[in-house]
Structure 1
């Protein structure tokens, strides 16, 4: 049933119950990661099929049109969903205010996209993109319609429901795309894939949330949301501007081919981050928001989460840094050898920036997006400046510049986070310090193993190098971060017990 009173709050997970925040957060991260893996794998298979049925031009036209959707989503959301995730009480007045704004903005954005599509077609010098943009216009409205139900599910740590919904929607969209492609619908197979995914996910979110809006719109609540959301959306826009500037600098100095080599290197790291640390942001934001009034619990929870993140994600980035000379040619072909060194350095930068995801969730969760906004602007400006200064020496120098920026940004975050946690900066730095020695030793062992096993087939070389690194990484980790190792084992066991059905007891 819908909440009927403005002062009623949505259901919250019980903090002190056996299924409290820790267990629910662990299961939420596992479900989010599992969802990303399933969608990546099935999506790869679907793309492999569609690539044989559609032309590169079809993919290019849809990619061009789809590039507008993230910006539309930002404008329609305005950071309101993040506000509702961290606010102490998600009252019906707040939720309804968000809903009516989202619906109105969705209608305006979808209609505006239809009207300006011909102009965009001329701007892109691609007339074929005009009907595709118009066909994708309803996605803007569908995204906004599902914003509040999805936010409620995230707020209540119902990431299992979100994972199931995303999987069902993804499978439905992929099935429709393949059928339409086989029937000769060409580019519209990809358009309908996007539409079906959004239609199904929005419908399932409404069903799962069991929420209905009231006819309330509070100007006061709207103003509060705008002031908070402006900082959140500002962070996203700054990151987008940095990406555009970075690409322009690379193309002007190294040409389009240089950008292509960098893109492959970045894509490898981004996929790894998307399947690991990216799952922490939505979960950590909710958990930190719900325990922020208890400083001891907030500090302890943050340090535990950071420690586990560095152990797990650090190992993955280490494997990419060591294995890129074998992995990139094996996955993309020998013509991409120039992407190897940048990928290795970007993996090192990825190790340094592991904590950024949780730090972002922390500042959002405690209601301090402004601090993160200022920090993000400084980091993005430094990134562009360093890129412009070193790009003429090649992609290797540029990637090394990213490592420098990552190190500086990490150190700069320690006092900011320490202030929020009422802790010392060196306490905040301990998660990465404790894992640095195991990572460094395992890296030396891994590079040596790859060099020795170079004559062997690529998969065999990677497997042997991975085993060699694990033989050193895991024992050293037990020495430098014993508590974290035990915590990781315990979290894994609890997550499995929560997600997997219990095995039936054997009959006596």
Structure 2
């Protein structure tokens, strides 16, 4: 059970490369498959049906978060982990999910009445029962991640999401409606449980280590606090849309936000788990972890943020091709959220570095600012439609972003001028690319191009502008990226 990574520079680099590769396969394979299958579901279901199912999924996000109590991150972060350390956290989480599931069952009628969907209480109870097998899976998965078994997890994730999605599409095509999502949830949860527990990295025992439990609980409770605040900050807009605009409009929002949510999950899943596992092993070396931080956020800003901005630039064409006229207005949700994602894909790494340093309390402050800011705007500023609400949400998130960066700079001993030199070229590049593409868009309208080809041409212009700006402002990084691609092509 005692598995600590090789912290030598060569060993650490190999761990990161191997871990990131398979973590990307795990995260991207499953998420891309799920997104594509959700496109088929959107073609088969109505916005109202999508809104009903998505509202129930909010419960599946929130309740297991309470029950898990942040122990998953505590397992990955703990420097010296013994098998007995996990026993009491596991039993506490199992007890918590049983109690919380009972509460959901008792409140299902009130939730159904609030949503105004007759008979929805049964749906809530049935889909919520998947939580009973999700929480035990979290513990086994955390141990797999700690042991850097990302390849095993990658195969599991890809297969479960493909099977679950295909069955959901088949059910939707045969008139199952919102119950298609229930089938998907059960398939994913059941296969994940069997996949991990048939070859367990850890088996629950009877030995109890109270000091270890309280140490992990202190760390995990801070993580839980962060996630709850993050949930409130990110999902309060969902509740506002449901209560003020109804489930049909919420269905539009749920589909439009899929681009942003999927891409953020891909970034988080690919980098956060590996970062937390590996960075925890060098957390006491402040200067070393600071250098790793600069390289990480610089790479994210240079290569990942432009992808978010690119998709935002051609969101009208993508949404038209994928969803059709039935889902009009989806692009007005997708575009601003994707622009927000171009900032958050860099910002998100702050949490991994602070947690690795054993400072989730500081991260909690950043998450508090991130949660409170959009909440205040949504409550105080009137909004008449979903586009207004999304805009307020994005502005609120952006206002709070500097707090997160300030806290990590202070913890790692970094000066603002240094981080500005690192991120400055990428920030300017992103602004220039989006502005020029937005100015060029009206010139395509008289050409009468199909949205598919219009999106291709606009995307090509964006890419050309991005490469030109990168060559002007950060030529060394462009040359380095080309060298990596050439080496990879020669050594597949």
Choose the corresponding residue for 1:160, options 147, 151, 159. Answer: 151
2:6–2:12 contact (8 Å) kept in structure 1: no
Residue in 1 that maps onto 2:282: 291
CA displacement at 1:19 relative to structure 2: 6.2
Choose the corresponding residue for 1:95, options 78, 86, 101. Answer: 86
Residue in 2 that maps onto 1:470: 463
CA displacement at 1:56 relative to structure 2: 8.2
Deviations along 1:321-348, one digit per CA (max 9) or x if unpaired, are 3223433444444576656566444443
Distance in 1, matches of 2:202 and 2:487, equals 30
Secondary structure, in 3 states, of the residue corresponding to 2:203?
coil
Is residue 2:452 matched to residue 1:459? Answer: yes
Distance in 1, matches of 2:419 and 2:358, equals 20
**Mean Cα displacement is larger for which, 312-321 or 299-308?**
312-321
Residue in 2 that maps onto 1:303: 294
Secondary structure, in 3 states, of the residue corresponding to 1:210?
coil
Residue in 1 that maps onto 2:262: 271
**Structure 1 residues 287-436: aligned runs within 5 Å:** 287-333=278-324, 340=331, 343-392=334-383, 401-402=392-393, 404-436=395-427
Secondary structure, in 3 states, of the residue corresponding to 2:314?
helix
The structure whose Rg is larger is: 1
**Structure 1 residues 77-226: aligned runs within 5 Å:** 77-111=68-102, 113-114=104-105, 117=108, 126=117, 128-174=119-165, 176-177=167-168, 190-226=181-217
Distance in 2, matches of 1:245 and 1:129, equals 21
1:176–1:192 contact (8 Å) kept in structure 2: yes
CA displacement at 1:186 relative to structure 2: 7.2
The alpha-carbon distance between structure 1 residues 390 and 365, as it changes in their structure 2 partners (threshold 3 A), is: same
Distance in 1, matches of 2:329 and 2:54, equals 25
Is residue 2:227 matched to residue 1:236? Answer: yes
The alpha-carbon distance between structure 1 residues 252 and 43, as it changes in their structure 2 partners (threshold 3 A), is: closer
CA displacement at 1:190 relative to structure 2: 4.2
The alpha-carbon distance between structure 1 residues 318 and 421, as it changes in their structure 2 partners (threshold 3 A), is: same
CA displacement at 1:349 relative to structure 2: 2.9
**Mean Cα displacement is larger for which, 40-49 or 191-200?**
40-49
Residue in 1 that maps onto 2:64: 73
The alpha-carbon distance between structure 1 residues 30 and 331, as it changes in their structure 2 partners (threshold 3 A), is: same
2:71–2:220 contact (8 Å) kept in structure 1: yes
**Mean Cα displacement is larger for which, 251-260 or 109-118?**
251-260
Distance in 2, matches of 1:255 and 1:73, equals 26
CA displacement at 1:80 relative to structure 2: 1.1
* C-alpha RMSD of matched pairs (Å): 3.7
The alpha-carbon distance between structure 1 residues 57 and 429, as it changes in their structure 2 partners (threshold 3 A), is: closer
The alpha-carbon distance between structure 1 residues 267 and 149, as it changes in their structure 2 partners (threshold 3 A), is: closer
TM-score if structure 1 supplies the norm length? Answer: 0.82
Distance in 1, matches of 2:438 and 2:92, equals 54
CA displacement at 1:435 relative to structure 2: 0.8
The alpha-carbon distance between structure 1 residues 338 and 195, as it changes in their structure 2 partners (threshold 3 A), is: closer
Distance in 2, matches of 1:336 and 1:46, equals 13
Distance in 2, matches of 1:147 and 1:230, equals 16
Distance in 1, matches of 2:328 and 2:15, equals 45
Residue in 2 that maps onto 1:506: none
The alpha-carbon distance between structure 1 residues 398 and 427, as it changes in their structure 2 partners (threshold 3 A), is: farther
2:370–2:401 contact (8 Å) kept in structure 1: no
Residue in 2 that maps onto 1:20: 14
**Structure 1 residues 56-71: aligned runs within 5 Å:** 63-71=54-62
Structure 2, unmatched stretches of 5+, are none
Distance in 2, matches of 1:242 and 1:407, equals 12
Distance in 2, matches of 1:159 and 1:13, equals 16
Higher RCO (Cα < 8 Å, 6 or more apart): 2
1:121–1:130 contact (8 Å) kept in structure 2: yes
The alpha-carbon distance between structure 1 residues 388 and 258, as it changes in their structure 2 partners (threshold 3 A), is: farther
Distance in 2, matches of 1:283 and 1:351, equals 21
Secondary structure, in 3 states, of the residue corresponding to 1:101?
helix
Secondary structure, in 3 states, of the residue corresponding to 1:68?
helix
CA displacement at 1:311 relative to structure 2: 1.7
The alpha-carbon distance between structure 1 residues 487 and 164, as it changes in their structure 2 partners (threshold 3 A), is: farther
Distance in 2, matches of 1:67 and 1:411, equals 28
Residue in 2 that maps onto 1:6: none
Structure 1, unmatched stretches of 5+, are 4-8, 504-508
CA displacement at 1:407 relative to structure 2: 4.2
Deviations along 1:398-433, one digit per CA (max 9) or x if unpaired, are 655555444433333333111222221222333431
Distance in 1, matches of 2:230 and 2:177, equals 34
1:307–1:431 contact (8 Å) kept in structure 2: yes
